[in-house]
Amino acid sequence: MRFAMVRSPLVDHLTFMNGCMVRVPFRELVPAVSAAGFEAMTCWANVWRHALTRDGFDLPGMRALLDDNGIALTDCEVCRTWAPSAAESASGKPLVAADPHEILSVCAALGGSTVVAIHDTPDGLVLDRDAEAFAALCDAAAEHGLRVALETVPFTTIRDVASGWSLVEAAGRPNGGLVFDVWHHVRSGCPDSALDQVPGSRIFTIQLSDGPAYPRNIDLMAEASTPQGRMAPGAGEMPVSRLLSLLRAKGVVANVGPEVTLTVDGGALDRERAEALARELHQATTSTLAAADARSAERLEYRRAELRGAER
C-alpha cells in the first residue's frame, strides 16, 4: 500500500536518506523505502558499488528497480576529493566517498538531481582556492544537468552554515547550494541567524534528525554514530520544528527526509526489518513536518492579529 504524499510547503520530495541504512543492499532497500511510503531516496557510494559489483546490477538495471517501485533518486553521496588538498590526502579514507567523475556519472544515470559534497581537508578552508574548485565541480555537474549541495558537518573543515555559504557564494554558480542537516546545524553551534544570508532557493536538501539538547560526547562524530546521539525527528530535545519553520519562512522547497542512526554499526537488515524501520521513520518525519507547519500557521495568525491591532 502506498501512502498519501506529504504536501508540506517545504517538501519537494519526501526522501529516505540512505545514511539511515548504509548496509542494506540496494535490491532490498528500494522496495522497503517504497513500501514505507517515501517517494524518493538518496544513495551512498558503498551502496551503489555493492549493487554494481556484488548484486549483478548495471546502472540501467538500478534505474529500472527505482522506477518499478515508484522511487525517485534525488541525491548521490558523497564527494570529497573535489577540494585540491582533500584529493592529495584521500588514501585510507572510508569507501563511502566517490570522486567527481564517478558520482556525477552515477547520479545522472540513476535520474538524480543533486550530488552532495563535503569539505574535509588537512589544511582547512582556503576560500579563493576552494571556491574555484567548487565552481569547477558545479560546472562539471551542470554538464550532466545536476546540482551540487555542500553539506556542512561539524567534524569536518566546513562545519557550519556560515562558512558553507561563504564558499558557495564565492564560487558563484547557480547550481551550487547547501544541505541543511538539523543535527549538524545544532551541534555546530552556529546561530540560526546565519540562515538569513542564504537564499531559500539555495537549500537543496534538508536532513531531519534529533538528539539531546547538549552533546553527550565531546567527540561529535562518535555521538552522531549512536542511536542515542542522533535520533529520529521528534524523539529528542533539538528545536526541529522551530528550524523547519524558519526554513519555511524563507521559502525553502527541498528534498526532505530522515537522516538518523538506527544501529551502532550500521548493521545489515533484512527487507522486513528495513521496511518496518523505514515506516517508523516515515511516521516520525511526517509528524515533525506537520508540527512545523502548525507552528508556522500559528506564527502567521499571530502576525496578522498584530497587524489588525495596529490598524485600529
Range 250-267 average pLDDT: 86
Q: How far apart are CA 209 and CA 71, in angstroms?
A: 22
List the one residue out of 229, 249, 235, 258 whose CA is nearest residue 295.
249
pLDDT of residue 35: 97
| Collapsed DSSP state (helix, strand, coil) of residue 177 | strand
Q: How far apart are CA 180 and CA 194, in angstroms?
A: 12
| Collapsed DSSP state (helix, strand, coil) of residue 188 | helix
Q: Which residues of 199-227 are buried (b: 16+ CB within 10 A; e: fewer)?
A: eeebbbbbbbbbbbeebeeeebeebbbee
Percent of the chain with pLDDT over 70: 89
Q: What is the pTM of this model?
A: 0.92
Residue 63 pLDDT exceeds 80: yes
Residue 95 pLDDT exceeds 80: no
Contact (Cβ atoms closer than 8 angstroms) between residue 40 and residue 71 = yes
Contact (Cβ atoms closer than 8 angstroms) between residue 238 and residue 224 = no
List the grid coordinates of 88.
592529495
Superfamily designation of domain 11-311: Divalent-metal-dependent TIM barrel enzymes (3.20.20.150)
pLDDT of residue 263: 76
Per-domain boundaries in the chain: 11-311
Residue recorded with cell 557550519: 160
Residue 16 pairs in a beta bridge with: 41
pLDDT of residue 221: 94
pLDDT of residue 168: 98
Task: Tell me the pLDDT band of 1, cut-offs 50, 70 and 90.
Answer: very low
Choice among 55-64, 95-104, 177-186, 241-250 with the minimum mean pLDDT:
95-104
Longest CA span, the chain: 71
List the grid coordinates of 79.
564527494
Task: Tell me the pLDDT band of 49, cut-offs 50, 70 and 90.
Answer: very high
pLDDT in tens, 182-208: 999 999 999 999 999 999 999 999 999
Percent of the chain with pLDDT over 90: 83
